[in-house]
Amino acid sequence: DIQMTQSPASLSVSVGETVTITCRASENIYSNLAWYQQKQGKSPQLLVYAATNLADGVPSRFSGSGSGTQYSLKINSLQSEDFGSYYCQHFWGTPYTFGGGTKLEIK
């Protein structure tokens, strides 16, 4: 099984700051990667698919990058509505493992 190592596990940041969350796959996943945002008590929402493509309606301050085994989600100029948890998930063969998650909190 492909393991997804996500970091950091938590982050305390202020509105307006820029953050980067990373996911490292245990083997090449050829950009078959999604990023989700999850608010407390809600279901995950797709942010980025195929590593670099923003889902419809996702603000342009979000961006995805990476290839091979290393991927990142960058959020520029954090807004209050961006706080919550973020997960990566690979789609290069089952099981479609998720990263451990990053909890983004307000400083």
- The residues of the shown chain that bind another protein, judged by CB under 8 A, are 1, 30-32, 34, 42-46, 49-50, 53, 55-56, 87, 89, 91, 94-101
Report in angstroms how near the CB of residue 49 gets to another protein at its nearest: 4
In this structure, the number of other CB atoms found within 10 A of the CB of residue 28 comes to 12
Report in angstroms how near the CB of residue 77 gets to another protein at its nearest: 25
Cα distance between residue 87 and residue 83, in whole Å? 13
- In sequence order, the β-bridge partners of residue 5 are 24
Report in angstroms how near the CB of residue 58 gets to another protein at its nearest: 11
Amino acid present at 81: E
